Amino acid sequence: MDYNHRAPGRSGLRFSSNDRAGDSMISSRLGLHRDVVEVIPQTDLWAENVRRRTLGERIGYLICDEVQF
């Protein structure tokens, strides 16, 4: 999903928790790896998005993978 969004030049924010690739990483079965914001119980997804946008980061999409665990 991230690859498809990035292909036309969009940038986004990725969240995950307990991925098989380790902390602050997300991986696919195809072997792709990307950095992520590691989610812990205190993580506020909205606040992280607002903080980064306030600092000038362009965020066109959010991906939240495995955060339900």
What is the DSSP code string of 42-61? T--HHHHHHHHHHTT----E
pLDDT, tens only, 12-65: 988 888 766 666 767 677 777 777 888 888 989 899 999 999 999 999 999 887
Alpha helices in the chain (DSSP H): 2-6, 45-54
48 belongs to the catalytic site: no
Give dist(CA 45, CA 28) in Å, integer. Answer: 22
Entry pTM: 0.73
pLDDT at residue number 50: 94
Q: State the pLDDT at residue 15.
A: 87
Check residue 41 and give its pLDDT. Answer: 87
Catalytic residue among 38, 48, 57, 66: 66
CA angle 20, 7, 58 (to 5 degrees): 85
How many angstroms separate the CA atoms of 26 and 14, rounded? 8
